[in-house]
Amino acid sequence: MSFYYRISYIVLVCVVLSCQPTTPEKNLSPEGARIEQLAIKQKDSFDAPGLAVGIIKNGEILYTGAHGFQDMNSKEPLTVHSLFHMASVSKPFVATAMIKLLEEGKIRLDDKLTDHLPYFTMADSRYKDITLNHMLNHSSGIPDVEDYEWDNPQYDDGAVERFARSHSTIKLDFAPGERFSYSNAAFDILCDVIARVSGLTFEAYVEQNIFEPAGMTESTFLKPEVPAKLATEPHILGDSLQRVVSKVYPYNRRHAGSSTLHSNVEDMMLWAQVNLNKGIINGKRIYQESSYELLTTSQIRINKNRSMGLSWFQRNLKGATMIYHSGGDLGYSTFFGFLPEQQAAIVIMTNIDGFWSVDAASTILANAVFNDSINWKAPIHFELKDHILTEGIEKTRKVYFDELNKSPQNYLFNGDYIDNLGYWLIDRGHAQKALEVFLFNVELEPEEAGWPDSVADAYVAMDSTDAAIRWYKKALEIKPTQKFTIRKLNRLLKD
């Protein structure tokens, strides 16, 4: 079962105003203190070793702060200069680089991809119709990346061209321009376009044309350039469901455009000013105002809540348009967004994966910009994970019901969260414990067809085929059309 981000707006509970910030030496305004306490609560609720936040309101920096550690092993304190792997927050920099080349007259958005990469081929003749615009708004049809090969990274200048050439045996998911489908691969291939057109590597072009003029002196797309004293480490859930430093770092130049930006709060506040001022910072124009309109104007409606410009997502926040991009990779979760009309912006970065960065940023923005304070809550499975392995299912059940019956509640409750806990356990080799969690979920929501399917998955992990077949059939008794269950059941029956 997949795990969904949720935004839950709750009536104000004013305890945050009375809490003391963890860094009392700061001379914070009451508004800044409220933001800091909310950020710390978000960090703690997801067991994040470190969290950094920067926010602009009415065009002025309202708050910057960093809490926790760069690395939970070394306990090196996090600062606003600490550099995070920014994951997909990288993509708007790719789009801005493309727009810079457009301003220089070196490309047009309706150029075919093959106009600039004649060696790019796919096992599908429709690839010849892919335009640069299709790639920038995620309508190219190029399938997403299946394996980033973080454990086998490439560091040389030729990595991105090799990635582009590797598509010769791949077919498109659909005809270019037909619909929206998020493609990290498209942005990785655009790095090769930038390199071919500019005569520089993608990383060098961004450095010279965006970072340097904007004053973002500590940002880089090249991991080897990150100073050790500023480097954060990625943290993941270990086999015991506790945070550990990942043995693998999420970096590979094959995927430079989709994932490899490294930045910090200070630099991202400069990037916020660039975008809020439609291309200008400190009297320098990074890109033309007409380019801002190209980048941020909605081109594709994704659903009733979101639309897509050139790399930028748009959504409604309290009646305002938020332009943003979130990011998530192995050991990191990030968010950058801005509200043009309110002259507000926010960056959040954590050195864990699975953090609800969209929710966290939206909560702080709603609090700071619209005075709509929100009582932040974490999903209940982040509490339950600390009990299931060490104290068992009965203690886990007790904690669940104790928290459920509290008023006000400290956590969010949903069957998806319990299901997610079960799959965490399966993924880490605790199939029996997962089974107990899934059965608990069936007890909580007996009419939900997904939960018996999960029970069956646990039995599959335990090599109990007969039991798995029985539970897949139970899922289909509730929902006979549940396709993923039908596929899994047929596979077992065939075997």
Residues 418 and 326 in one domain: no
**Residue 260 domain flag:** yes
**Residue 19 domain flag:** no
**Residue 419 domain flag:** yes
Q: Which residue has the higher pLDDT, 376 or 12?
A: 376
Residues 328 and 412 in one domain: no
Check residue 20 and give its pLDDT: 32
Residues 251 and 305 in one domain: yes
pLDDT digits (tens, 9 = 90+) for 75-108: 999 999 999 999 999 999 999 999 999 999 999 9
pLDDT digits (tens, 9 = 90+) for 364-409: 999 999 988 777 899 999 999 999 999 999 999 999 999 999 999 9
Q: Which residue has the higher pLDDT, 4 or 398?
A: 398
Within 13 Å of residue 407, how many CA atoms lie on the same side as its CB? 0
Alpha-helix runs per DSSP H in 329-445 = 357-370, 381-404, 415-427, 431-444
**Token pair for 215:** 């004053």
Residues 334 and 469 in one domain: no
Is pLDDT at 17 greater than 60 in this prediction?
no
Taking only Cα atoms into account, the Rg of the chain, rounded to an integer number of angstroms, comes to 23
Residues 425 and 314 in one domain: no
The 3-state secondary structure of 155-184 reads: CCCCHHHHHHHHHHHCCCCCCCCCCCCCCH
Residues 285 and 139 in one domain: yes
Mean pLDDT of the chain: 93
CATH number, position 173: 3.40.710.10
Q: Which of 351, 371, 405 is the last residue of a domain?
A: 351
What is the pTM for the complete model shown? 0.91
At 140, phi and psi to the nearest 5? -75, -25
C-alpha dihedral (197, 203, 207, 210), degrees to nearest 10: 60
102-111 contacts, C-beta under 8 A, 24 or more apart: 102/291, 102/294, 103/287, 103/288, 103/291, 106/197, 106/198, 107/132, 107/193, 107/197, 108/132, 109/133, 109/136, 109/294
**Token pair for 213:** 């003029």
C-alpha dihedral (223, 224, 230, 234), degrees to nearest 10: 50
Residues 283 and 409 in one domain: no
Residue 181 to residue 183: CA distance in whole angstroms? 6
**Token pair for 351:** 């050195």
Residue 57 to residue 367: CA distance in whole angstroms? 11
Distances (CA, A) of 334 to 38, 69, 85, 138: 16, 16, 8, 20
Rounded to an integer, the average pLDDT of 105-125 is 98
Check residue 6 and give its pLDDT: 33
Residues 114 and 254 in one domain: yes
Check residue 26 and give its pLDDT: 65
pLDDT digits (tens, 9 = 90+) for 275-289: 999 999 999 999 999
**Residue 369 domain flag:** no
Is pLDDT at 423 greater than 90 in this prediction?
yes
**Residue 299 domain flag:** yes
pLDDT bucket at 28, cuts 50 / 70 / 90: confident
Rounded to an integer, the average pLDDT of 252-265 is 98
Q: Which of 351, 370, 387 is the last residue of a domain?
A: 351
CATH number, position 408: 1.25.40.10
Residue 270 to residue 274: CA distance in whole angstroms? 6
Residue 51 to residue 71: CA distance in whole angstroms? 11
Rounded to an integer, the average pLDDT of 128-137 is 98
Residues 395 and 266 in one domain: no
* Amino acid residing at 352: I
Number of structural domains in the chain: 2
pLDDT digits (tens, 9 = 90+) for 34-50: 999 999 999 999 999 99
pLDDT digits (tens, 9 = 90+) for 58-76: 999 999 999 999 999 999 9
Of the candidate ranges 5-14, 174-183, 303-312, 354-363, the one whose mean pLDDT is the lowest: 5-14
- CA-angle at 64, arms to 63 and 66, nearest 5°: 140
- How long is the chain? 495
**Residue 27 domain flag:** no
Residues 264 and 197 in one domain: yes
pLDDT digits (tens, 9 = 90+) for 186-239: 999 999 999 999 999 999 999 999 999 999 999 999 999 999 999 999 999 999
Burial track 43-66 (b if 16+ CB lie within 10 A, e otherwise): bebbbbbbbbbbbbbeeebbbbbb
**Residue 357 domain flag:** no
DSSP 286: S
Residue 478 to residue 446: CA distance in whole angstroms? 9
Find, among 92, 78, 151, the residue nearest to 350 by Cα: 78
pLDDT bucket at 12, cuts 50 / 70 / 90: very low
**Residue 9 domain flag:** no
Is pLDDT at 487 greater than 60 in this prediction?
yes
- Domain of 429 in residue numbering reads as 379-494
Q: Which of 297, 332, 351 is the last residue of a domain?
A: 351
E strand or H helix at 110: none
Find, among 411, 410, 383, the residue nearest to 395 by Cα: 383
Residues 347 and 400 in one domain: no
User: Cβ neighbours of residue 34 under 8 Å, at least 6 residues apart?
Assistant: 16, 17, 367, 368, 373
Residues 212 and 270 in one domain: yes
